[in-house]
Amino acid sequence: MTPGCRPLVLANWKMHKTASEAAAHASALLPRLGSPVDREVVLAPAFPALTAVGALLKGSTIQLAAQNLFWEDEGPYTGEVSGVMLQDAGVSYVLVAHSERRRYLEETDRVAGLKMRAALRCGLKPILCVGEDEAERAAGRAESVVRSQLVRGLESVAPGEASRVQVVYEPVLAIGTGHAATAAQAVEMHDLIRRELRVHFKNSAAGVRVLYGGSVTAHNVDELMNSAGVDGVLVGGASLKVAEFARIAAFRIAT
């Protein structure tokens, strides 16, 4: 973990749980999470559940995130949700260009850049997702792919906005497979990301948290969070289990 960094743990519930199911899940989870002050814990339910979960989070230190947003604030964009709407719903964080959206919905680096700009314009804190797929890693292109995703995703973000930006490294081969990247692989790619952030943001790069995402579990979170440069985790499937996510959020740092 980066010295002096307040770590971030984000639960991405993906396309799971109706509004009532999400509220029940949050109600069971919140007492186990408590009110942490040395780390940020954030829940990202699906759009229809944002209001119900957000109401339960009022008065707690647990924050609300959205899984996506559109790049315009309003207009004739049927089916889309704007940053203005999310901010009004109590959302603090928003995921941008998650690997599943890149893969299944063909979101491009250009779209990621537009969404980053929209999130910042609307007062949200965006989390830019980057990562190579299995074929790209096998071909020796992992670094170039991640570097390109970063450059295009951050090209319209000014150094003065860096403190509101998060980046998550999520190797696609680890998403939903149960096979997380090794701590060594995570450290290697986080170091690359940090170098690119310094190129883009100069001295302001220190304010950007770099997270790891991909098959994070209660069994590997401590090792990941004790790895150099890992400032938090994006949790998928394990966040749907109350006891497991509570343990992940309570990760232990070696002293």
Show me where the domains of the chain are located: 8-249
pLDDT digits over 70-84, tens only?
Answer: 999 999 999 999 999
Q: What is the DSSP letter of 34?
A: -
**C-alpha 56, offset from chain centre:** 21
User: pLDDT by residue (tens digit) across 178-230?
Assistant: 666 677 888 899 999 999 999 999 999 999 999 999 889 999 999 999 999 99
Per the annotation, the verdict on 98 as an active-site residue is yes
Q: What is the pLDDT of residue 173?
A: 72
Residue 72 among the catalytic residues = no
The answer to whether 57 and 43 are in contact (CB under 8 A) is yes
Position 161 pLDDT exceeds 90: yes
The pLDDT value given to residue 179: 61
Catalytic residue among 107, 132, 136, 170: 170
The Cα 91–Cα 235 span in angstroms is 18
Class of the 8-249 domain? Answer: alpha beta
114: exposed, middle or buried (Cβ count in 10 Å: 0-12, 13-18, 19+): middle
- Residue pLDDT, tens place only, 112-160: 999 999 999 999 999 999 999 888 888 999 899 999 999 999 999 999 9
What pLDDT, on the 0 to 100 scale, is given for residue 255? 75
C-alpha–C-alpha distance, residues 23 and 46, integer Å: 11
Tell me the mean pLDDT in the region 163-177. 83
> Could you read off the pLDDT of 11-55 as tens digits, one per residue?
999 999 999 999 999 999 999 999 999 999 999 999 999 999 999
Given the residues 98, 107, 190, 244, the one annotated as active site: 98
Which DSSP string corresponds to 131-184? ---HHHHHTT-HHHHHHHHHHHHHTT--GGGGGG-EEEE--GGGTTTS-PPPHH
Burial tier of 50 (Cβ tally within 10 Å: 0-12, 13-18, 19+): buried
Mean pLDDT taken over the chain: 94
